[in-house]
Chain A
Amino acid sequence: MLMSEQTYLTASAKPGRLLRSAVIYMAAGWSGFFVMGVELLGGRLLSPFFGSSIFVWGGIIAVFMTCLSAGYLAGGQLSMRAPSLAMLGALLMGAGVLGLPIIAVGTPVLEWLSYAVPDPRYGSLAGALLLFGATTVVSGMISPYAVRLLIADLNQSGRSAGVLYFVSTLGSAAGTILTSFYFVLYLELNTIILSMIGVSLSLGCLLMVFGRRRA
């Protein structure tokens, strides 16, 4: 695998390799965007049931951080076995699909939880875990998996990882600011979440097709 990729670098197929890197970075950047968009809107979804105090945000942020960290472990582990663009695409699509219950059952779940766990701290923690946990774990898998796909050469590995962090964190920043400053001004929460899931599915599809064609 490593050998063949190094051949790509030196061979005439360099533009193809650039394109390949570009879609991997795009996946990581979008994943960052998606996670932060969902996190911010998550605060909004929880507020009718638990308020919007510092406790509630504490619960949400703790869940996202914990799930991302679990995702990093899982994504690294997954990258040990036949890493492929198609699998990266599948992860993106998986994160999108796992976001659907937020829209489908979000309100009844939170309504039930607000009676079962009235303490806003544990209520928001449980609510965030139930609704956003799965999609966030899978989103967390994307970055380490993408690092594995990018690294063709040990000397370049730090730089590749650096660029990946750059893209993924910048994506998070973009998702944060666009969602909170602009999207909420025009769109309903469910519309925003559905659109983001739509982008994840499309981008995942693109990666799968691209990966298959190159394989």
Chain B
Amino acid sequence: MRWRAAVAALIAAASVSAHAAYDRSKLHPVYQEKSLYRNILVLEGGGYRCITFGRYHGEQSCIELAQPGRLVIPYTKGLFSGFYAVSAPRRVLVVGLGGGVLPRAIRDAFPQVEIDSVELDPAVARVAVSHFGFKADERSRVYVDDGRVFVRKQKRAGVRYDLILMDAFEKDYIPEHMLTREFLSEVRSILQPGGVVASNTFADGELQALEAATYQSVFGAVVDVEMDGGNRIILAGRDGLPSMQAMAATAASLDARITPLGFDSGYLLPRFKPQQPIKGVRVLTDQFAPSNLLLRLRH
């Protein structure tokens, strides 16, 4: 609670100053915690506050203290491309809470949407509240659970989502049980008809082709949204994706809602690239998932 007050004070103080460009070299640690899973590090500087899992890892998510509603890190903007591929989503699942930036931005842009967020690490969920001003409420719930285990529970409970945003992968670590054909099939099974999954991925090297083959084996044709900073968003639909024209039209109609988050359809749409069909590449399965080893093997 003390932290929440401090955040509010900081935000108020910072909002007087002008908008400053994000500069990661200005960040310095303000809080750290060794959790069961990670070294959680909160960094601050130059008007921004970020959560990371190690000084030399990428930032998981950041807020601009003066305008905490704006999205800072490119991939968080990229995940909103999921909204271009569904019509009138009512219930959204966010896998991987981070600083709580995504559910908060969804709440701001789409107040009527019901949001479930699932986060493995209870310490991360606490830091989202204490340092990033995230607030759960009856329409934005947080569950502390393994992402895959939670998806299976929702499947069994009959809960279905219009949109699933996956933010469980890092530049140098992949939860291997969450990048397999079986897992993606479970994800697909909790999508409503016409539902869409948008997944943040850093895969490159040998892993990229296997990842593509795995998504295509479950969803058919998928779209890559190429972001700056070495990552992509993979967009995949339960029943395929709408045409590019249809997604462009939806994107344009959402600009008024999304612009306050700090970007618009003109930023995201040119990045949409239909993924080439992959053949002759092994699909990742529960039986074969050496994703982290492959992540380190370059072509």
Contact = CB atoms under 8 A, between A and B. Distances in A.
A51 to B, nearest CB: 3
Interface in A153-208: 181, 184-185, 187-191
B149 A120 contact: yes
A52 B287 CA distance: 15
Contacts of B36: 53-54
B58 interface: no
A198 to B, nearest CB: 17
Given A48-B177, A53-B36, A53-B37, A187 B288 contact: yes
B170 interface: no
B176 interface: yes
B293 A114 contact: no
Contact of A188 (B152, B153, B175, B288): B288
Nearest to B153: A118
B149 A51 contact: yes
Given A115-B156, A118-B153, A188-B285, A51 B148 contact: yes
Contacts of A190: 287
A53 B122 CA distance: 12
A50 interface: yes
A49 interface: yes
Interface in B255-297: 285-290, 293-294
A21 interface: no
A109 to B, nearest CB: 14
A118 B146 CA distance: 12
Give the interface centre of B145, B180, B287, B294 by most chain A CB atoms within 10 Å: B287
Nearest to A190: B287
A77 to B, nearest CB: 38
A48 B182 contact: yes
Nearest to A192: B287
B202 interface: no
A47 interface: yes
B120 interface: yes
B287 A188 contact: yes
Contacts of A45: 286
Nearest to A123: B149
Q: Chain A: interface secondary structure? A: helix
B183 to A, nearest CB: 7
A48 B181 CA distance: 12
Given A185-B290, A188-B285, A188-B288, A50 B149 contact: yes
A194 B211 CA distance: 27
Contact of A52 (B175, B180, B182, B286): B175
Contacts of B285: 188
Interface in B165-214: 175-177, 180, 182-183
B30 to A, nearest CB: 27
Contacts of B153: 118
A47 B177 CA distance: 6
B177 A114 contact: no
B194 to A, nearest CB: 27
Contact of B183 (A48, A114, A120, A185): A48
Give the interface centre of A45, A48, A49, A184 by most chain B CB atoms within 10 Å: A48
Contact of A49 (B145, B149, B176, B294): B149
B146 A50 contact: yes
Interface in A16-37: none
A53 B146 contact: yes
Contact of B120 (A49, A50, A53, A114): A53
Contact of A185 (B120, B148, B177, B293): B293
Contacts of B37: 53-54
B287 A51 contact: no
A52 B293 CA distance: 17
A50 B152 CA distance: 10
Interface of A: 44-45, 47-54, 114-115, 118, 120, 181, 184-185, 187-191
18 contacts: A44-B176, A44-B177, A48-B148, A48-B177, A48-B183, A48-B286, A49-B152, A50-B149, A51-B120, A53-B37, A54-B36, A114-B149, A184-B289, A185-B290, A185-B293, A189-B287, A190-B287, A191-B287
Given A54-B37, A184-B288, A185-B290, 16 more contacts: A44-B289, A45-B286, A47-B148, A48-B152, A48-B180, A51-B120, A51-B145, A51-B148, A51-B177, A53-B36, A53-B120, A53-B146, A181-B293, A185-B293, A187-B288, A188-B287
Interface of B: 36-37, 120, 145-146, 148-149, 152-153, 156, 175-177, 180, 182-183, 285-290, 293-294
* CB-based closest 6 A-B pairs: A51-B146, A188-B287, A47-B177, A185-B290, A189-B287, A184-B290
